[in-house]
A = this chain, B = another copy of it.
Amino acid sequence: MFENKNTDSTSISTLGEFGLIEHITKHFEITKNSTIKGVGDDSAVLDYKDKNTLVTTDILVEGVNFDLSYMPLKHLGYKSVMMSLSDIYAMNGTANQILVTIAISNRFPLEAVEELYSGIQLACEKYSIDMVGGDTSSSNKGLIISITAIGEVEKGEQIYRSGAKQGDLLVVTGDLGAAYLGLQVLEREKQVFQVNPQSQPDLEKYSYLVERHLKPEARKDISKLLKDMGVKPTSMIDISDGLSSEIIHLGRQSGVGCSVYEDKLPLDPQVISTCEEFELNSTTIALSGGDDFELLFTVSQDDFDKIKGNPHISVIGHMTDKSNGYNLITRADQSIPLTAQGWDATLKKEKE
């Protein structure tokens, strides 16, 4: 289903590096006033006038951060842009430009690179982003993609991780755990496919989960939503590394503790039913699943009336004294310490 059936393949070596760059960048259009010079010189030239400039970068490594057997290249391109934009949005900023760097082995024909860049281009069009540069290299093994995103924020309007105060409400956008479950569904289908290549997976009832994994959307809308509500968060962070670890980050950098309520965690019905089917604890998935391109922020209690009932956001807890630590308050009213599980600390064993 997710395999590229295109059998025409062109070796990248026929183009060379400069030919490759020209080939893959020619379809990108420059649309932002802040882009003075994009692709084609030693560096991009940007004009951010009286705004502050935001810069962030992320790397994705094949076999570590993604598996091409169920992540089509176009989706990978799209998702890698989302990952980077999400960090700009988490500063209350507007994303404007990206630099795209890839390292690829000779396993990939030109058509594969085109697929990857078609996803990047779709993301650029949808989110109004100029692709203004990057780099390419060959790799000895697999595909590596690194995206640098550049954005802007009015001076003083950036929101750090460090501004949460005791008593502030903890708020999350969207819902949690779906992307992780989408990955579990795809991994199961891959195993079924390996045993029986004739199998036709029926992903209908997991459609939201699979979409959240394969085509996540960064929360470009939240900055404006909050402004329209007249609310300025006291702190904000992106939670694609997992809710639990990011709550701890936010709390530590702000010097406060946090209580999160299990019954407040926003879960899509497909998350609940699929957790039952897979015999997984939905709270664990929501806290530690990761890959949800949502934002976590804190607001003063005084703003509660402004935010309550909004379908895009959920109040899931409140900030406490630092000595309280970081705890989940369960449905049975028990307090359980949260743990950071944002990263698999066990490095992959190198295959030499």
Which of A42, A58, A249 has the most chain B CB atoms closer than 10 A to its own CB? Answer: A42
Q: CB-CB < 8 A to A134: which residues of B?
A: 57
Interface string of A37-59 (1 = CB under 8 A from B): 10011111111111011111111
Interface string of A62-99 (1 = CB under 8 A from B): 11110000000000000000000011101101000101
Query: Contact at A43–B149, with CB atoms within 8 Å?
Result: yes
Segment from A119-127, A166-174, A194-202, A338-346 that makes contact with B:
A338-346
Query: Contact at B161–A65, with CB atoms within 8 Å?
Result: no
Query: Contact at A348–B139, with CB atoms within 8 Å?
Result: yes
Tally of A interface residues using CB under 8 Å:
90
A27 at the interface (CB under 8 A from B): no
Query: Contact at A103–B343, with CB atoms within 8 Å?
Result: no
A325 at the interface (CB under 8 A from B): no
Q: CB-CB < 8 A to A53: which residues of B?
A: 45-48, 53, 150
Task: Please tell me how many copies of the chain the complex holds.
Answer: 2
Partner of A106 from B43, B342, B349 at Cβ < 8 Å = B349
Q: CB-CB < 8 A to A158: which residues of B?
A: 36-37, 45
Q: Which residue of B is nearest A236, CB measured?
A: B42
Rounded to whole Å, the gap between the CB of A68 and the closest CB of chain B is 13
Q: Which residue of B is nearest A343, CB measured?
A: B17
Query: Contact at B57–A101, with CB atoms within 8 Å?
Result: yes
Query: Contact at A61–B350, with CB atoms within 8 Å?
Result: no
A269 at the interface (CB under 8 A from B): no
Query: Contact at A16–B52, with CB atoms within 8 Å?
Result: no
Which residues 212-255 in A have Cβ within 8 Å of B in the complex?
A: 236-238, 245, 249, 253
Q: Complex formed: what's the CA distance from A161 to B13 in Å?
A: 25
Which residues 240-294 in A have Cβ within 8 Å of B in the complex?
A: 245, 249, 253
A26 at the interface (CB under 8 A from B): no
Rounded to whole Å, the gap between the CB of A28 and the closest CB of chain B is 16
Segment from A140-148, A300-308, A313-321, A329-337 that makes contact with B:
A140-148
Query: Contact at A60–B18, with CB atoms within 8 Å?
Result: no
Q: Complex formed: what's the CA distance from A133 to B58 in Å?
A: 10
A-B contact pairs, 11 of them (CB 8 A): A11-B347, A42-B88, A44-B55, A49-B50, A57-B99, A61-B139, A64-B140, A138-B347, A139-B144, A141-B142, A141-B350
